[in-house]
């Protein structure tokens, strides 16, 4: 009897051990954990680890766990390239997620395209998947919405309100210039007129002069296209304008507690496109993202991330990168780079935190305007803008 | 001069030995350190020889990078003309700028060169059609040499960087031990006295500033080829400050010490990359220790303390 029991126990241990005895599938992560973009990069890595644990707790992919090997890019393109080569040449990863900024992404992209390594980027700039003079993007995918998508969302909202004359202060950096180009390209087709534009420094501390100058052109709405503290400063400056003020609109990179904290009273009434994370509490049950977003919010708080990095519109990007990777591997049926790439660009209806992804060979982002909601700051909180 | 060149030869031999055994990604890291070392050598022409504190290293580096990338894209086979032409253009531009800046006086020269950096970045952002603006440019064509073909890959870039450091180091040593070098030394020690002795301070310093600009431009060309992508953010004030820092640590006016300081300290800093949030703190501590060690070395303080 005892012998039988021991045999059964031994067999059970062997089976349990074999469940994850398979080699892990190695995924490389490049995040800025030091330098100017460290706050975004560190949060991204933590979210990636959280999502990875979730995937592995469900049994991994193709019967194998995923293992994330992450390196710090120090917010510089040269180090990002070096770390990427380390991951590909020394660590032999199958695919990569990250990095944090567009400059790092562009530095990495040339190498990963040449080496045929799938990369799912969490950067904001559209140049990554624009093609043309920015190089091919066969192996490069992007999670955050394209700038065009956000601009289209804004224009649809403004048009619906009968606001057709806009002025634009935009930053000189890649994000700002992407926004200005998209606004100019889409304005005519959406019946929007650009009455004035100004360039602002994303590291500037006061934009009162620019705000006054733009207000003189009598726009019905002002679309501020920058990220970081500059957006909050611009909001304060526009709020301080005398007389009738235009409706203030921010870009899709702003929605989060930091903006409200920095802009103070200037944030009140400001509208912006954001991922549905910002209105998670009020999402209808029928929304296809409701379950995924609720689970993400719960897990984010449970892992202690909400206390360290209060949730904002970007919080889900790393999770979505891994979701796409997971679905891509399942579709590819093997951990092979070429098969993964082909699978990634033919995924359909992948429900993520940032939207429902439908990438195609021509569109390596796959998010449409329905992935964004227009939100407004009311009483220091984000509510859906009516 | 002979002793100086011997040390330079020893440094290059050590680098060549390292380069022969290092695998791909580590060779890329060494290339990135050698790029910075070449930039430090460029600044050494300005500060070490001429006594001019310049914050325009990033600007000249960027000028070289963008000019080479744009011209090579249009004339892929024109490396032998384009590279010297860009270096010469940088020399002339730097020399022309130096004369009016020199009249501002010592304290204001650094501020004026800082403005050069800002002007460069703003020009790149303005001429989006040529430069790609803030999104940067992909490097479409690598420089190519007859018989050797395109300069692609880590080892080719490594050898090119060693060659440039060797050539620039030789020119540095030759200038220092020439009549021009003695004139520059006089200007560095006491500009007024040097002028009183009949030295044309403006012209002498224009040559050293020009040489520094040309070497920085060549460093920029190598960075573009090595990385495959350039953007204005890579050539901003941060690069100029980093270059100045390493020159100060190594000792302005010395040929090999600043180069060795770059390679050793940057390698040490890169080794600590896995510390996450503590990385910046450790970087700062390493650089602070190096600065203090450099100061002690120059002042002989440890010997005094030991007595």
pLDDT (0 to 100) of residue A16: 47
Top-confidence residue, B263 or B286: B263
Interchain contact, B229 vs A33, CB within 8 Å:
no
Same domain, A212 and A228: yes
pLDDT (0 to 100) of residue A353: 96
- As a whole number, the mean pLDDT across chain A is 91
Residue A10 domain-assigned? Answer: no
> What would the pLDDT profile of A156-194 be if each residue is shown by its tens digit?
999 999 999 999 999 988 888 889 999 999 999 999 999
Q: Are strands A95-97 and A25-31 parallel, antiparallel or unpaired?
A: parallel
3-state secondary structure chain A: CHHHHHHHHHHHHHHHHHHCCCCCEEEEEEECCCCCCHHHHHHHHHHHHHHHHHHHHCCCECCECEEEEEEECCCCHHHHHHHHHHHHHHCCCCEEECCCCHHHHHHHHHHHHHHCCCEEECCCCHHHHCCHHHCCCCCEEECCCCHHHHHHHHHHHHHHCCCCEEEEEEECCHHHHHHHHHHHHHHHHHCCEEEEEEEECCCCCCCHHHHHHHHHCCCCEEEEECCCHHHHHHHHHHHCCCCCCCEEEECCCCCCHHHHHHHHHHHCCCEEEEEHHHHHHHCCCCCCCHHHHHHHHHHHHHCCHHHHCCCCCCCCHHHHHHHHHHHHHHHHCCCCHHHHHHHHCCCCCEECCCCEECCCCCCCCCCCHHHEEEEEEECCEEEECC
What total number of domains does chain B contain?
Answer: 1
Over residues A349-359, the mean pLDDT reads: 96
Residue B296 domain-assigned? Answer: no
Q: Interface pTM (ipTM) of the complex?
A: 0.84
Same domain, A138 and A30: yes
Same domain, A36 and A111: yes
* Model confidence at A17: pLDDT above 50: no
Interchain contact, B138 vs A85, CB within 8 Å:
no
The span from the CA of A359 to the CA of A366, in Å, is 4
Confidence of residue B211 (pLDDT cuts 50, 70, 90): very high
Interchain contact, A89 vs B24, CB within 8 Å:
yes
Same domain, A117 and A175: no
* Model confidence at B305: pLDDT above 60: no
Residue B133 domain-assigned? Answer: yes
Interchain contact, B234 vs A111, CB within 8 Å:
no
Residue B292 domain-assigned? Answer: no
Interchain contact, A177 vs B128, CB within 8 Å:
yes
Interchain contact, B135 vs A125, CB within 8 Å:
yes
Top-confidence residue, A2 or B139: B139
> What would the pLDDT profile of B157-195 be if each residue is shown by its tens digit?
999 999 999 999 999 999 999 988 888 888 888 878 888
Task: Tell which residue, A114, A238, A253, has the closest CA to residue A174.
Answer: A253
Distances (CA, A) of B70 to A264, B67, B151: 46, 5, 17
The span from the CA of B263 to the CA of B31, in Å, is 10
Q: Is B284 on the interface with A (CB under 8 A)?
A: no
* Model confidence at A52: pLDDT above 90: yes
Return the DSSP state at B53. -
* Model confidence at B111: pLDDT above 70: yes
Residue B273: alpha-carbon gap to chain centroid: 24
Residue A289 domain-assigned? Answer: no
DSSP string, B93-133: HHHHHHHHHHTT-HHHHHHHHHHHHHHHHHHHHH-HHHH-G
> What would the pLDDT profile of B20-35 be if each residue is shown by its tens digit?
888 888 899 999 999 9
The span from the CA of B169 to the CA of B215, in Å, is 10
Least confident of A306-315, A342-351, B191-200: B191-200
Question: Domain boundary residue among A251, A266, A289?
Answer: A251
Q: Is B126 on the interface with A (CB under 8 A)?
A: no
Top-confidence residue, B278 or B103: B103
Over residues A128-142, the mean pLDDT reads: 91
Residue A85 domain-assigned? Answer: yes
> Which CATH number fits the domain that encloses residue A188?
3.40.50.2300
Residue A125 domain-assigned? Answer: yes
Residue B159 domain-assigned? Answer: yes
pLDDT (0 to 100) of residue B301: 60
Residue B294 domain-assigned? Answer: no
* Model confidence at A8: pLDDT above 50: yes
Residue B269 domain-assigned? Answer: no
Residue in A closest to B282 by C-alpha: A34
Question: Domain boundary residue among A192, A217, A251?
Answer: A251
What total number of domains does chain A contain?
Answer: 2
Residue A318 domain-assigned? Answer: yes
> What would the pLDDT profile of A268-327 be if each residue is shown by its tens digit?
999 999 999 999 999 999 999 999 999 999 999 999 999 989 999 999 999 999 999 999
Domain of B47? 2-236
Interface probe with A: pick from B22, B23, B24, B25, most Cβ of A within 10 Å: B25
Interchain contact, A72 vs B231, CB within 8 Å:
no
Same domain, A172 and A234: yes
Same domain, A317 and A349: yes
Cβ contacts (< 8 Å) between B229 and chain A: which residues? 77, 106-107, 109-110
* Model confidence at A56: pLDDT above 70: yes
Top-confidence residue, B285 or A284: A284
Confidence of residue A244 (pLDDT cuts 50, 70, 90): confident
Same domain, A88 and A165: no
Top-confidence residue, A72 or B286: A72
The span from the CA of A167 to the CA of A223, in Å, is 6
Interchain contact, B273 vs A106, CB within 8 Å:
no
pLDDT (0 to 100) of residue A382: 94
Same domain, A44 and A140: yes
pLDDT (0 to 100) of residue A144: 95
* Model confidence at B78: pLDDT above 80: yes
Asked if the bond preceding A74 is cis, omega within 30° of 0, the reply is no
Domain of A210? 148-251
Q: How far apart are the first and last CA of chain A?
A: 72
Residue B41 domain-assigned? Answer: yes
Is A83:A72 a contact under the CB 8 Å cutoff?
A: yes
pLDDT (0 to 100) of residue B89: 96
Same domain, A55 and A70: yes
Interface probe with A: pick from B22, B32, B125, B138, most Cβ of A within 10 Å: B138
pLDDT (0 to 100) of residue B144: 84
Same domain, A137 and A220: no
Beta bridge partners of A25: A66
Confidence of residue A19 (pLDDT cuts 50, 70, 90): very low
* Model confidence at B12: pLDDT above 80: yes
Same domain, A152 and A233: yes
Q: Check: pTM over 0.90? Answer yes or no.
A: no
Residue B295 domain-assigned? Answer: no
The CA angle A261-A265-A269, to the nearest 5 degrees, is 100
Over residues A318-340, the mean pLDDT reads: 96
Cβ contacts (< 8 Å) between A174 and chain B: which residues? 133-136, 231
Task: Tell which residue, B74, B296, B256, B55, has the closest CA to residue B165.
Answer: B256
């Amino acid at each position: 009897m005892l012998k039988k029991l021991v045999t059964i126990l031994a067999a059970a241990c062997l089976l349990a051990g074999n469940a994850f005895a398979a080699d892990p599938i190695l995924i490389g992560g490049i995040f800025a954990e030091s330098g100017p973009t460290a706050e975004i990069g560190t949060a991204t890595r933590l979210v990636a680890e959280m999502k990875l644990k979730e995937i592995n707790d469900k049994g991994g992919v193709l019967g194998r766990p995923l293992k994330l090997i992450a390196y710090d890019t120090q917010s510089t393109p040269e180090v990002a390239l070096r770390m990427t080569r380390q991951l590909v040449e020394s660590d032999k990863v199958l695919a990569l997620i990250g990095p944090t900024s567009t400059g790092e992404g562009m530095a990495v992209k040339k190498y990963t395209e040449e080496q045929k390594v799938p990369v799912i980027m969490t950067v904001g700039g559209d140049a990554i998947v624009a093609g043309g003079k920015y190089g091919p993007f066969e192996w490069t995918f992007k999670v955050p919405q394209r700038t065009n998508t956000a601009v289209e969302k804004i224009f649809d909202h403004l048009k619906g309100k009968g606001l057709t004359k806009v002025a634009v202060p935009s930053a000189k950096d890649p994000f700002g210039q992407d926004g200005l180009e998209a606004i100019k390209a889409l304005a005519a087709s959406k019946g929007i007129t650009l009455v004035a534009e100004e360039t602002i420094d994303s590291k500037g501390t006061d934009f009162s002069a620019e705000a006054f100058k733009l207000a003189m052109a009598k726009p019905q709405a002002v679309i501020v296209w920058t990220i970081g503290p500059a957006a909050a400063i611009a909001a304060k400056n526009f709020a301080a304008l005398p007389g009738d003020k235009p409706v203030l609109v921010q870009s899709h990179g702003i929605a989060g507690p930091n903006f409200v904290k920095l802009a103070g009273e200037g944030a009140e009434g400001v509208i912006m496109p954001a991922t549905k994370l910002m209105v998670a509490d009020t999402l209808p049950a029928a929304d296809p993202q409701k379950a995924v977003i609720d689970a993400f919010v719960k897990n984010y708080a449970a892992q202690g991330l909400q206390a360290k990095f209060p949730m904002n519109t970007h919080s889900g990007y790393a999770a979505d990168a891994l979701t796409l990777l997971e679905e891509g591997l399942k579709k590819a049926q093997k951990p092979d780079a070429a098969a993964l790439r082909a699978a990634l660009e033919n995924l359909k209806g992948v429900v993520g935190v940032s939207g429902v992804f439908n990438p195609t060979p021509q569109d390596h982002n796959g998010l449409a305007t329905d992935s964004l909601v227009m939100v407004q700051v009311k009483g220091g909180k984000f509510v859906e803008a009516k | 001069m002979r002793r100086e060149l011997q040390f330079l030869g020893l440094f290059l031999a050590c680098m060549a030995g390292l380069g022969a055994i290092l695998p791909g990604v580590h060779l890329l890291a060494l290339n990135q350190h050698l790029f910075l070392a070449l930039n430090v050598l460029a600044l050494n022409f300005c500060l070490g020889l001429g006594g001019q504190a310049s914050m325009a290293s990033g600007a000249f580096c960027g000028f070289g990078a963008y000019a080479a990338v744009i011209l090579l894209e249009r004339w892929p086979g024109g490396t032998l003309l384009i590279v010297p032409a860009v270096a010469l253009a940088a020399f002339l531009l730097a020399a022309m700028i130096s004369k009016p800046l020199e009249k501002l006086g010592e304290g204001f020269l650094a501020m004026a060169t800082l403005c050069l950096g800002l002007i460069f970045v703003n020009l790149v952002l303005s001429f989006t059609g040529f430069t790609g603006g803030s999104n940067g440019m992909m490097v479409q064509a690598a420089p190519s040499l007859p018989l050797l073909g395109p300069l692609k890959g880590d080892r080719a870039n490594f050898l090119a960087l060693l060659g440039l450091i060797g050539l620039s180091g030789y020119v540095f040593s030759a200038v220092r031990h020439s009549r021009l070098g003695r004139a520059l030394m006089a200007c560095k020690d006491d500009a007024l006295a040097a002028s009183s002795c009949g030295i044309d301070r403006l012209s002498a310093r224009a040559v050293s500033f020009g040489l520094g600009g040309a070497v920085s431009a060549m460093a920029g060309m190598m960075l573009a080829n090595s990385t495959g992508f350039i953007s204005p953010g890579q050539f901003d004030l941060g690069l100029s400050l980093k270059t100045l820092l390493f020159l100060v640590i190594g000792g302005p006016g010395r040929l090999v010490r600043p180069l060795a300081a770059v390679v050793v300290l940057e390698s040490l800093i890169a080794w600590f990359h896995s510390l996450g949030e503590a990385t910046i703190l450790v970087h700062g501590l390493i650089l602070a220790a190096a600065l203090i060690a450099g100061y002690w070395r120059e002042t002989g303080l440890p010997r005094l303390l030991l007595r």
